[in-house]
A and B are shown apart, each in its own frame.
Chain A
Amino acid sequence: MHDPLVIAGREFRSRLITGTGKYASSEAMRAAVVASGCELVTVAVGRIDLDTVEESITDHLPAGITLLPNTAGSATAGEAVRIARLARAGGLPDWIKLEVIPDPRWLLPDPVATLAAAEQLVSEGFTVLPYVLPDPVLQRRLEAVGCAAVMPLASPIGSGRGLKLRHTIEIMVEQAEVPVVVDAGLGAPSHAAESMELGADAVLVNTAIARAEDPAAMAQAFRLGVEAGRTARLAGLIEEHETAEPSSPLGGLAARA
């Protein structure tokens, strides 16, 4: 079945996006990326240390992977815009995962600064995918300024707690004009499946894969979870009922003879 994820007119076969942080080694990261089947991975933008020889992360990624630079480290709109410009100047794609996070404890994004940075970056020709709290009003504002997707968090980054804000994300899915990518807090493949079942267009997973005992196996599990959830969404889930409904016919059974 041809069911691509489409963001800003670009098609992706996989609806799983993975991060590249927190892996024990570059080899583990590469194996997980391959096993995930993803085509889009997030990277941060770092300043080169002139005193040390550093390997490039791109040397460890499989061919055909598209980089999605993020604005990690930004606490203000201005910092995020600067990092995005730096990424583009560095030859990275002008797609940007916009994250403005002033709060180091909960790592929650600043909605006001995110909107301001998004508007600026869109005006400069970036394809902007903002990381946000699940907020249908903010979603509309971000769509209005031209964002290519919105990325609501399921629960705090790295928490692994899953869809704690499910209802609000459901509202976002229902009214979405651009793809909704559930990002952050997904700790298990079942969380990814649940996200897809409720209608998310894609999910982004990092910590749950990178910190697993076997990252490649967990990446494969998330891949299957995403595929299962998407397939179920398209197949049409039954409505929930308060009471039981028998699966066998009530008449003509041997027990009632």
Chain B
Amino acid sequence: MNVTVNGRTREAAADETVQTLLEGLGLTAQYALEDGDALVVARPVAGG
């Protein structure tokens, strides 16, 4: 099964969770949002 995170496709194991998937990418699961069949991982950046 392939999962796309921020545009990057990664193969996910059958027992993989969002948390383990993101940890594998060096990300914290706190910033995940499912967007259809993909995940978007965002965080605060400078803005007005």
Contacts and interface: CB of A to CB of B under 8 A. Distances in A.
Contacts of B47: 19-21, 42-45, 70, 72
Interface in B1-48: 5-8, 25, 27, 30-33, 40-48
Given A90-B30, A91-B30, A46 B6 contact: no
Interface stretch (A48-56, A112-120, A222-230, A243-251): A48-56
B40 A67 contact: no
A49 B27 CA distance: 11
B44 A46 contact: yes
A253 interface: no
Nearest to B31: A90
Nearest to A43: B44
Given A50-B8, A85-B33, A89-B31, A157 B48 contact: yes
Nearest to B5: A50
Interface centre among A21, A22, A48, A87 (most CB of B within 10 A): A48
Contacts of B32: 89-90
A206 to B, nearest CB: 4
A85 B35 CA distance: 11
A71 B33 CA distance: 16
Nearest to A205: B48
B42 A21 contact: no
A21 B43 CA distance: 15
A89 B44 contact: no
Contact of B48 (A42, A48, A49, A56): A42
B45 A91 contact: no
Contacts of A89: 31-33, 42
Contact of A86 (B7, B33, B45, B48): B33
Contacts of A48: 6, 27, 31, 41-43
A56 B44 contact: yes
Given A48-B27, A85-B33, A91-B31, A57 B48 contact: no
A92 interface: yes
Contact of A45 (B25, B27, B45): B45
Query: Which 6 A-B pairs give the minimum distances between C-beta atoms?
Result: A44-B47, A19-B48, A206-B48, A46-B45, A43-B44, A90-B31
Interface of A: 19-23, 29, 42-50, 56-58, 67, 69-70, 72, 85-87, 89-92, 157, 204, 206-207
18 contacts: A21-B47, A23-B46, A43-B47, A44-B44, A45-B42, A45-B43, A47-B40, A48-B43, A49-B6, A50-B5, A56-B44, A57-B45, A67-B44, A86-B42, A90-B31, A90-B32, A91-B30, A207-B48
Given A50-B8, A69-B44, 9 more contacts: A22-B48, A42-B48, A43-B45, A46-B43, A47-B41, A50-B6, A87-B44, A89-B32, A90-B43
